[in-house]
């Protein structure tokens, strides 16, 4: 084949004509010639060797050698087109090979890798534009979280971010516990909108992730019970005569409605926890029934 003859002649002439600066770079060129023979022949051994040498002088022999070994002669073109971000592009190619080509050739993605390092690189290679959106919104915390997730949970995290349901504390939990944390947050996103529940979860997430603790218990103890107590408990502290008079003057329709709303809200939380679905047309009667059933079982 013609390109093999050209390649053989070029390799024989390379040490003198191209002035390869080090043994590492020379070996990289020879490696490419064996693995990417056709591409090397098309570019020309001398021209390729010159490009590798110039990049190595600026970015280091080892980095350039690894990048060219992973993706072949196109590493030179990618680095050249990256301009001032050439170092970022080469690091991406050296570490992730062909999987990083799409990231290394995109200026906005290279910028994020330059800002947030290896976590951003891993996240962008794994999740593409989905990862880019989350990192763009949450910076380093977004990069750390996305780097720990597989494709499905990466998409889920991006959807939560788009819906405004993510917060830095939740991202820290995902960064530490990975996919199982994201799965839990996705399944319990309604409950985690409540401040008290969110605070309790992020303070010690492991029992909830392991199933030894439940968010419904937090809702009952930290949200529902205090509200009910504030409405009903004051009556018990009043003297009997005063309590009777106070009871006569109270708007019991309003209080009943408030208790009904509280019960319905609690029941909705239980429903979400038990079914993993957000309730649609759940009636007030059904809500109260579900809530009190839950309370009897607790």
Q: How far apart are CA 213 and CA 207, in angstroms?
A: 5
pLDDT per residue of the chain (298 residues) written in tens, 0 to 9? 444 433 434 444 444 334 445 677 788 888 888 888 888 888 888 888 889 999 999 999 999 999 999 999 999 999 999 999 999 999 999 999 999 999 999 999 999 999 999 999 999 999 999 999 999 999 999 999 999 999 999 999 999 999 998 999 999 999 999 999 999 999 988 888 777 788 888 999 999 899 887 776 655 454 444 544 555 555 455 555 554 455 455 554 555 455 555 555 555 555 555 554 545 544 444 544 544 555 555 5
CB atoms under 10 Å from CB of 259, counted, come to 15
Close Cβ partners of 128 (under 8 Å, ≥ 6 residues apart): 102, 103
Give me the pLDDT at residue 257, please. Answer: 52
pTM over 0.75: no
Give me the pLDDT at residue 21, please. Answer: 54
Give me the pLDDT at residue 96, please. Answer: 96
């Amino acid at each position: 084949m013609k390109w093999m003859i050209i390649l053989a002649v070029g390799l024989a002439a390379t040490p003198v004509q191209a002035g390869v600066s080090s043994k590492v770079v020379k070996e990289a060129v020879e490696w490419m010639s064996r693995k990417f023979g056709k591409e090397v022949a098309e570019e020309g051994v001398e021209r390729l060797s010159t490009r590798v040498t110039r990049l190595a002088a600026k970015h280091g022999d080892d980095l350039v050698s690894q990048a060219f070994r992973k993706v072949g002669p196109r590493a030179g073109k990618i680095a050249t087109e990256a301009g001032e971000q050439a170092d970022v592009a080469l690091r991406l190619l050296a570490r992730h090979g062909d999987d990083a080509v799409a990231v290394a050739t995109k200026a906005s993605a290279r910028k994020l890798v330059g800002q947030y390092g290896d976590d951003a690189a891993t996240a962008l290679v794994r999740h593409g534009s989905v990862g880019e959106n989350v990192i763009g919104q949450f910076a380093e915390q977004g990069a750390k979280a996305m780097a720990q997730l597989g494709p499905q949970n990466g998409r889920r995290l991006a959807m939560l971010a788009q819906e405004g349901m993510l917060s830095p504390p939740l991202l820290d939990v995902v960064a530490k516990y990975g996919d199982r944390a994201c799965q839990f947050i996705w399944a319990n996103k309604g409950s985690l909108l409540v401040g008290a529940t969110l605070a309790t979860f992020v303070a010690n997430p492991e029992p909830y992730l392991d199933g030894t603790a439940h968010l419904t218990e937090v809702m009952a103890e930290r949200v529902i019970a205090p509200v009910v107590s504030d409405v009903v408990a004051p009556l018990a502290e009043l003297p009997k005569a005063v309590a009777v008079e106070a009871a006569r003057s109270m708007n019991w329709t309003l209080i009943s409605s408030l208790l009904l709303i509280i019960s319905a809200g609690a029941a909705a939380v239980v429903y979400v926890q038990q079914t993993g679905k957000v309730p649609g047309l759940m009636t007030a009667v059904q809500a109260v029934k579900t809530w009190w059933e839950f309370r009897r079982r607790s």
